[in-house]
Structures are given as C-alpha cells and as structure tokens.
Amino acid sequence: MKRSKILYAIGPIAILAGWYFFAYYPTNFNILIPKPVQVMLSFKNFPQILMKSTIATLYTWSTGTLLGIILGILIGFICGYYQNLFKIIEIPLDFFRSIPSITLLPIVALFLGSGLTAKFFIVTFVTFLYVFIHTTYGIKYSRTSKQNLALAWRLNPWQNFREIIFYSSLPSIFAGIRTAITLGLIATISSEMTILGTAGLGKKIIDNMVIYNTTEMYEIIIIIGLIGYATNKLIVILENNVIHWKGH
C-alpha cells in the first residue's frame, strides 16, 4: 500500500518539479511561465475575480451534461432494444460521432446566437451523443448475448429487459457517462473560448492570454483540471457502488 501511494505521487511531483525548473531557469519564455508560488497565491483572490465565471461554467456544463445523459439513456434504450430502429440510425450516428464538436460552433452560432442557449445546445449534443452510443451498443449486445439465458428462464420481454438486459448494459452506460462528462467539460470551455464566449472560465482564459496575465491563466487551467478530476472520481465511486458486481 505504501509503495502504491509513492508511485501515485511520482507523476504530480514530476510535473511540479518541471514547472519549477522552467519557471526559474532563465530563458526568453519566463514571462509565459509564472512561478508556482505566484499561481498558488493568486487563489486567495478567487472569490472576487473568478467565482462568477466558475459558476457560469459549472451551470452550463452541469445542466447541459445532465440533460444529454438523460436523453442519451432513454433514447439509447429504445434504439438498442429495437434492432431495425438501430439499423436506421447507425450510419448517421457514426457520421456525427466523427465530427469534432468545435466545428459545429459556427453553425450553432448562426442559428442560436452567441449566448447561453448556443453553449447549452453544444454541451447537450456532445454528451447525448456519447451516452446514446454507449447505451445503444450496451443494450444491443446484452440483448443478443443473453438471449439463451432469457429463453432458459422463460422470461417475457419485460422481465428479460428488467432482469437481464438492463443490468448487463450498465457497465457500458457508465463508460459512456464518464466519457460524456469529460467531453462535456471540454465542449463548455471550448465554446466559451470561441465566438460563443460571453462568460465563463474559457472566456477568462482568452481575456488573460491577450493581456499576458499568465498567472491568472494558469490558475484557471488548474481550476478546470480540478473540476474535471473531482467529477471523474465521484462518477467512479458511484459506478463502483451501483455496479458492485463488476470484476467479480
């Protein structure tokens, strides 16, 4: 256990050591790399400077992601269970999955403007797509692989779905949720950094980049990383409690 903790600590320590080295070693890029101490001290001004932007980002990300997850699971259940419906949407699904979400920003801006609605749509679309894909495939393959089991137990379609297909598809659904949450945060920050940026941490990054305020820019990047890391850990804990039989 002690050795495992040491191994986990090596990565963060190496990153911090590299940061210190490049921040203090005299080069032409010192202005672009603030000292770690300066960045840490800047957090004391977080409530006055960044709290409003953080709340704006969290609101867009959380509401868009939650709606996308709900829609993805519900529609994914239907399309995964009915094979013919899945065949109809399979090609469009693979097509939209191949398009980076940031390329949709100009089209969304043309239709919805550059406000909260446009950002909300992008985040919802991205999270919906990945949860929907994982749910659909999870239901589809659970239905085919467990068909003999349902026949042996003489289950009707509703019992088959409730007792076998639903639980068998949960690992795939949670994998989709974890991916969608991360991509939703990326979509939120990306939309805030581009033409849709009217508020949020992404816009703050661009504003500070323009005036070379790298200290606050690095602070925002750390905040975004902490938000994503903490959320991912919470989802892992939830997954381990819901799918407690996984790995046994």
pLDDT of residue 105: 82
pLDDT of residue 12: 87
Residues 50, 54, 55, CA angle at the centre, nearest 5°? 120
| pLDDT of 86 higher than 60 | yes
Q: Report pTM.
A: 0.86
pLDDT of residue 73: 93
Q: Dihedral (C-alpha) 212, 216, 221, 227: value to the nearest 10 degrees? A: -160
Which residue ranges form the domains of the chain, and what is each CATH number?
1-33 (no CATH), 43-242 (1.10.3720.10)
What's the pLDDT band for 67 if we cut at 50, 70, 90?
A: very high
pLDDT of residue 21: 87
What's the pLDDT band for 197 if we cut at 50, 70, 90?
A: low
pLDDT of residue 244: 67
Per-residue pLDDT tens over the stretch 90-127 = 888 888 878 887 788 888 888 888 778 888 999 999 99
What is the distance between the alpha carbons of residues 109 and 93, in angstroms, rounded to a whole number? 23
